[in-house]
Amino acid sequence: MNSRSALLFVYVTACTVLAVSRPASAAGGLAVTINGADGMPVSGAVVIAEPLQGGAPRARAGQTVVMDQHNLMFVPDVLVVQTGTAVDFPNSDHVRHQVYSFSSAKKFELALYAGRPHAPIVFDKAGLVTLGCNIHDNMLGYIWVTDSPWYGRSDAEGKLQLRELPAGQYRVHIWHALLGESGPELEQRINVADDQVAAARFRLTHALRAPLRNHGADKQWEDY
């Protein structure tokens, strides 16, 4: 190999190494903060970021999560899942339960049971699913089903950090079981850029409602 060929070889090799080692642009993030009308943090709020351009990645096939029943309560009381996810409803109480939903996103009923006799239920349509028990009217739970994989619930400080969002514009909306309001203040459009953390801050205009203590014949399904 002559000197010119050797120099060309070194140049091509160096360019190849640079091309291989150059990192791809990192995805962005989103920091969400939610405060109540009194300025205090709102914990347990559902946060969902939906891309406005292009589709969201689908849920992994065969993914299953658990909503248990313990001390006559659904645990957790609110669950957020991506469309196509299966939910297992074990009964860890010493009494039997009969779980059901009349919600348009998922109607189902699990016959009176203890333990774990029923197969998980696949939630294949986006929307809010309200759960009850035909035996214990005080039991109330919610499952938020979303097509987006970017979701979560706010912590004790009213904060949530979403990661690995591809660059683009998102509709960010929040929900809480005790919301006393509805309207445009519950959603924002946020632009997320590569290698940057965007911010979405929400301030409620109404106080959260008091939790429902007694469920029964005096309540309609729409009350929940």
Tens of pLDDT, residues 34-78: 999 999 999 999 999 999 987 778 877 789 999 999 999 999 999
Judge whether residue 211 has pLDDT over 90.
no
Residue 11 domain-assigned (yes or no): no
Tens of pLDDT, residues 129-160: 999 999 998 899 999 999 999 999 999 999 99
| Same domain, residue pair 161 and 95 | no
Tokens in use for 159? 């904060």
Residue-by-residue DSSP string for 5-52: HHHHHHHHHHHHHHHHHSPPPPPEEEEEEEE-TTS-B--S-EEEEEES
Judge whether residue 6 has pLDDT over 70.
no
Residue 179 domain-assigned (yes or no): yes
Domain hosting 204: range is 25-44+153-208
Please give the tally of structural domains in the chain: 2
The confidence score (pLDDT) of residue 8 equals 34
The confidence score (pLDDT) of residue 26 equals 64
Residue 1 domain-assigned (yes or no): no
The confidence score (pLDDT) of residue 24 equals 42
Judge whether residue 102 has pLDDT over 70.
yes
Residue 14 domain-assigned (yes or no): no
Judge whether residue 25 has pLDDT over 50.
no
The confidence score (pLDDT) of residue 182 equals 87
Residue 15 domain-assigned (yes or no): no
Helix (H/G/I), strand (E/B), else coil: 104: coil
pLDDT confidence band for 212 (50 / 70 / 90):
low
The confidence score (pLDDT) of residue 18 equals 32
Tens of pLDDT, residues 154-169: 999 999 999 999 999 9
| Same domain, residue pair 110 and 38 | no
| Exposure letters 167-191 (e unless 16+ CB within 10 A, then b) | eeebebbbbbbeeeeeeeebbbebe
Q: How far apart are the first and last CA of the chain?
A: 80
Answer with the residue of higher pLDDT: 74 or 3: 74
Amino acid at 47: V
| Same domain, residue pair 67 and 105 | yes
Tens of pLDDT, residues 177-204: 999 898 888 999 999 999 999 999 999 9
The confidence score (pLDDT) of residue 196 equals 95
| Same domain, residue pair 118 and 161 | no
pLDDT confidence band for 217 (50 / 70 / 90):
very low
| Same domain, residue pair 113 and 65 | yes
pLDDT confidence band for 20 (50 / 70 / 90):
very low
Greatest extent of the chain over all pairs of C-alpha atoms, in Å: 94
pLDDT confidence band for 16 (50 / 70 / 90):
very low
Residue 196 domain-assigned (yes or no): yes
The confidence score (pLDDT) of residue 61 equals 77
